[in-house]
Amino acid sequence: MKLQGFHITRNHKFLLMSHPRSFKRTMTTRARARELGIIPGILSPGPLNAITDVHDVRVGHFTLIEGDDIRTGVTAVLPHGGNLFQEKTPAGLAVGNGFGKMMGSTQLQELGEIETPIILTNTLAVPRAADAILDWTLAQSGNEGVRSINPVVGETNDGVLNNIRRRALTPEMIYQAIAATATGPVSEGSVGAGTGTIAFGWKGGIGTSSRILPANLGGFTVGVLVQSNFGGVLQILGVPVGQKSGRYYLKDKLEPDNTSTSFSNRADGSIMMLVATDAPLSDRNLTRLAWRAMAGLARTGASMSNGSGDYAIAFSTAETVRRTKERRESLCTIAELPNNLMSPLFQAVIEATEEAIYNSLCMATAMTGYQGCHVEALPLDLVMSFMREYQPWRSIASLKAEGR
Convert the pLDDT of each residue in 192-219 to its tens digit. Answer: 999 999 999 999 999 999 999 999 999 9
pLDDT of residue 258: 65
| Residue 357, pLDDT above cutoff 70 | yes
Convert the pLDDT of each residue in 370-400 to its tens digit. Answer: 999 999 999 999 999 999 887 554 545 554 5
pLDDT of residue 6: 40
DSSP lists the bridge partners of residue 383 as none
Which one from 158, 278, 283, 310 is the annotated catalytic residue?
310
Q: Using 50, 70 and 90 to split pLDDT, how confident is the model at 1? A: very low
pLDDT of residue 333: 85
The mean of the pLDDT values for the chain is 90
Active site residue 308: yes
Which one from 187, 210, 264, 308 is the annotated catalytic residue?
308
Active site residue 310: yes
Which one from 190, 209, 228, 270 is the annotated catalytic residue?
270
pLDDT of residue 164: 98
Distance CA 61, CA 6 (A): 12
pLDDT of residue 400: 54
Convert the pLDDT of each residue in 18-52 to its tens digit. Answer: 233 333 434 458 999 999 999 999 999 999 999 99
Convert the pLDDT of each residue in 247-290 to its tens digit. Answer: 999 998 898 776 666 777 888 999 999 999 999 999 999 999 99
Distance CA 290, CA 292 (A): 5
Convert the pLDDT of each residue in 55-73 to its tens digit. Answer: 999 999 999 999 999 999 9
Domains in the chain, ordered, with CATH? Answer: 2-401 (3.60.70.12)
Active site residue 360: no
